[in-house]
Amino acid sequence: MLDQLNAEFAIDDAIHFEKHSSGLIQGKIATEVCQGSFFLLGGHVAEYGLKDKRPILFLSDEANYEIGKAIRGGVPICFPWFGPHKTDDSQPAHGLVRTEEWNVQSTSFDGQSVSIALGFQLGQLNLNYKIEFGPALSMALEVANSGPATTYELALHTYFSVSDVTQVQIGGLESVDFLDQLTGETQMASGQPIQFTEETDRIYHGAVKSLELVDPGWQRTILVEPINSQSTVVWNPWVAKAKRMPDFGDQEYPHMCCIETANISPNQVALDSGASHTTSVVIREQT
Ligand code: TA6
C-alpha cells in the first residue's frame, strides 16, 4: 500500500508517505516554508510549523497510534457528534471518524504549499477533507449528504503548542456567551480575553471572524480564522484530568490548549438531501 501511495501521490521532496513506528501510514510534508504531517488514521493532521520555527500544533508524547483509538494532539476530527453520544453511551466520544482509516484522493504542490484531499464515507454522508500545509495551515471539511435530510455536529479539535498555558491569552471571544461544560451552566460573555487558571472546558456559541492565541513566553501570536463555524471550544485539562488521561503526560497540560472550530448543538448543521456544508479553519503564525 505504501509503495502504491507514493507512486500515486508523492511529489518530489514536498510530500511522501512512510510507515510510522506504530505501523500506521503517515504523510510527511517538507517545503521551503513549513513542515507537517498527517495520518490516514482519522484523517488526522498531526504536526504543523513554519520552517525552522517552533511547532504550532501540540502532540502528546504519550499518544496512542492504533486503529480504533484517537491520536492525542494535532487535529482530531469529531463527527458526526461532539463529546459523549446524546442517547447511547455505548458509542465512543466525539463520533466515529477519528478512529478509522481515511483514503487519499489527491495531492498537489505549487512550489510553496502542499494540498491534500482525504475522504471518508459514513453512511449517507461523504466527507471530503482538504488540507493545505503552507505559510498557513488550512483545513476544510466538506460533508455531502446523499440520503434523507439529516443533522450532524463537527469539531476540528485543534491542539496548540504553547510555552506556558498560565501565561497565554485567547482573544476574539470576549463578546460571546459560553456553556461551561464543567458546570453545565451558560455564562454571559466575559468581556475579557481568556486566561487559564484551572481546568477549562467551554463551548462558545456564535460565529467569530478571527481568534488570536497570544503566547508571550515564545513571543508569538497564532491567528485562528474559522469559516462557517458557529461554535468554538476552548479546553485545557489542567492537573487532575491530565492525570486521568492515559494517553497524555501528567506534566503536558502547561504546554497546550485546544481552540476547536466547530458546529455543536444548538448550532449543529442541518443538511437537506443532496446538500453539502463545509466547515473550515485557517491557522497562521502572525508575522
Ligand atoms: O473539547 C473538549 C472535550 O470535549 C473535553 O471535554 C475532553 O473530553 C476533550 O474534548 C478530549 O476528549 P477525548 O475524547 O479526545 O479525550
DSSP codes, 56-72: SB-B-TT---STTS--S
Instruction: Report, as an integer, the average pLDDT of 106-112.
Output: 97
User: By three-state DSSP, how is residue 255 classified?
Assistant: helix
CA 236 / ligand 1 centre spacing (Å): 9
Instruction: Report, as an integer, the average pLDDT of 110-130.
Output: 98
Which distant-in-sequence residues (6+ apart) come within 8 Å of 211 by Cβ? 170, 171, 172, 173, 223, 224, 225, 226, 232, 259
DSSP codes, 167-181: T-EEES-TT--EEET
* Residue 158 DSSP code: P
38: enclosing H helix or E strand: strand 34-39
Q: Which atom of ligand 1 is nearest to the CA of 235?
A: 2
Return mean pLDDT, the chain.
98
Scan for cell 504543523, then name that residue: 48
Q: Which atom of ligand 1 is nearest to the CA of 98?
A: 15
Do 258 and 72 form a contact (C-beta atoms < 8 A)? Answer: no
Q: What percent of the chain has pLDDT over 70?
A: 100
Query: Hey, which of 235, 238, 245, 260 would you mutate to test ligand 1's pocket, going by the most ligand atoms within 8 Å of its Cβ?
Result: 235
pLDDT of residue 191: 97
Q: In the predicted model, is pLDDT for residue 137 greater than 90?
A: yes
Rounded Cα distance, 103 and 128, in Å: 10
Q: In the predicted model, is pLDDT for residue 245 greater than 90?
A: yes
Do 64 and 70 form a contact (C-beta atoms < 8 A)? Answer: yes
Which distant-in-sequence residues (6+ apart) come within 8 Å of 89 by Cβ? none
Instruction: Report, as an integer, the average pLDDT of 238-245.
Output: 98
β-bridge pairing 34-39 and 25-30:
antiparallel
Q: Which amino acid residue places its CA nearest to atom 6 of ligand 1?
A: 201
> Per residue in 139-157, is it b (16+ CB within 10 Å) or e — as a string?
bbbbbbbeeeebebbbbbb
CA distances from 156 to 15, 36, 167, 197 (A): 23, 17, 24, 24
More confident residue, 153 or 1: 153
Scan for cell 510553496, then name that residue: 112
Which distant-in-sequence residues (6+ apart) come within 8 Å of 136 by Cβ? 282, 283, 284
pLDDT of residue 287: 85
Q: What is the pLDDT of residues 24-56, one digit of tens each?
A: 999 999 999 999 999 999 999 999 999 999 999
Q: Is the C-beta atom of 181 inside 6 A of ligand 1?
A: yes
Rounded Cα distance, 161 and 152, in Å: 29
Instruction: Report, as an integer, the average pLDDT of 82-95.
Output: 97
Query: Hey, which of 201, 229, 264 would you mutate to test ligand 1's pocket, going by the most ligand atoms within 8 Å of its Cβ?
Result: 201
Instruction: Measure the CA dihedral 207/278/76/139, to 10°.
Output: -90
